[in-house]
Amino acid sequence: MGDTEFQEFLDAISTCFIDRDFATWRDRVIYPFTLITAAGPVLIRDEDELRENFNLYLQACEAMHLDKIYRRPVALEACSDGTWIGTYETNLLSRGVRAAEPYVSSALLRESDGRFKMMSIMNARGHHDWTGKQPG
């Protein structure tokens, strides 16, 4: 696994929100899935919880009038246990203009079926940052 696969992963977890494609998001997650935010961790245990979180993120995309999410790779580090830490910058765009300041996150990744899947996102920002609705 390397830089090309990491960019493919980033593209998949970006366009799925614009395309409203839950199946692609689901296909890149390993349960239990954890979002680590400034407000604390959010544990997602199953597909129902993941779908609920995805739908709230879609509401945030609509509220912000997003038409593009672009994630730029910053670093990819192989860990001795076979996992990877992928760090990336997220850019949220509305009509070609930034809708929010870019932010950097890291994902704990594992290779499965020849591609990256995530177990956790650290420094995650999501729907609650823009909609005010707290998860859970």
Structure tokens belonging to residue 2 = 């390397």
Longest Cα separation, the chain: 42
**Number of domain units in the chain:** 1
Q: What is the pLDDT of residues 8-49, one digit of tens each?
A: 999 999 999 999 999 999 999 999 999 988 888 999 999 999
pLDDT grade, residue 124 (50/70/90)? low
d(CA 45, CA 27): 15
Give a yes or no: residue 117 inside a domain. yes
The reply to whether 109 falls in a domain is yes
Question: What angle, 0 to 180 degrees and rounded to 10, lies between the N-to-C axes of helices 3-18 and 47-64?
Answer: 70
Instruction: Please report the pLDDT score of residue 125 as a whole number.
Output: 59
| Closest to 136 (Cα-Cα) out of 28, 40, 13 | 40
Q: What's the predicted TM-score (pTM) here? A: 0.87
- Determine, yes or no, domain membership for 12: yes
> Does residue 136 sit within a domain?
no
Residue 41, beta-bridge partner list: 36
Residues 6+ apart with CB under 8 A from 114: none
Structure confidence by residue, pLDDT tens digits, 66-104: 999 999 999 999 999 999 999 999 999 999 899 988 999
Structural domain including 70 reads 3-131
- Assign residue 82 the CATH number of its domain: 3.10.450.50
